[in-house]
Amino acid sequence: MSRAVTMPNGTKVYAEMAIEYAEMVRGLMFRDSLAPDRGMLFLHNQMGKYPYWMYQVRIPLDIIWMNSDKQVVEVLANVPPCPSAKSSECPTHGGTRDAQFVLELAAGMAAKYGVAVGTKIDF
């Protein structure tokens, strides 16, 4: 299932929804590309600190954390894939602020769409 996500500059991105645990764990693993107008939106049940990792993700991503009001609280740009075949060797990224929603976009898109801490993303 996809949902339209309106970025701070008004651009619409279509994000796959990750709601169930298995969808969240898989995320964007095994993808060879991600179009500029596509992403993945993770919907956590409650506010919390949610670090993400890049195990078996093949492309660099921008990762955006939002609070329950959909206000951006953290942005990491151009997060590189983890080259290791061992999950234990892949570091986690971000998740230092309380958030409820996380959006992953192709690397470079957050800046292009005007995403910064304090901006809002609508979905």
Mean pLDDT across the stretch 102-122? Answer: 98
Domain presence at residue 123: no
> Is residue 1 very low, low, confident or very high in pLDDT (cuts 50, 70, 90)?
confident
DSSP readout, 61-104? EEEEEE-TT-BEEEEEEEEPPP--SSGGGPPEE---S-EEEEEE
CATH of the domain at 88: 2.60.120.1140
Domain presence at residue 118: no
Domain presence at residue 44: yes
Q: Domain range holding 10?
A: 2-112
Domain presence at residue 119: no
Mean pLDDT across the stretch 17-29? Answer: 94
Domain presence at residue 117: no
**pTM score, whole prediction:** 0.95
- At 67-85, the pLDDT tens digits run 999 999 999 999 999 988 8
> Is residue 120 very low, low, confident or very high in pLDDT (cuts 50, 70, 90)?
very high
Domain count, the chain: 1
- At 37-61, the pLDDT tens digits run 999 999 999 999 999 999 999 999 9
Domain presence at residue 25: yes
> Is residue 14 very low, low, confident or very high in pLDDT (cuts 50, 70, 90)?
very high
The b/e string for 47-72 (b: 16+ C-beta within 10 A; e otherwise) is: eeebebbbbbbebebbbbbbbeebeb
Domain presence at residue 59: yes
What pLDDT shows up at residue 56?
95
Whether the per-residue pLDDT at 105 is higher than 90: the answer is: yes
Domain presence at residue 22: yes
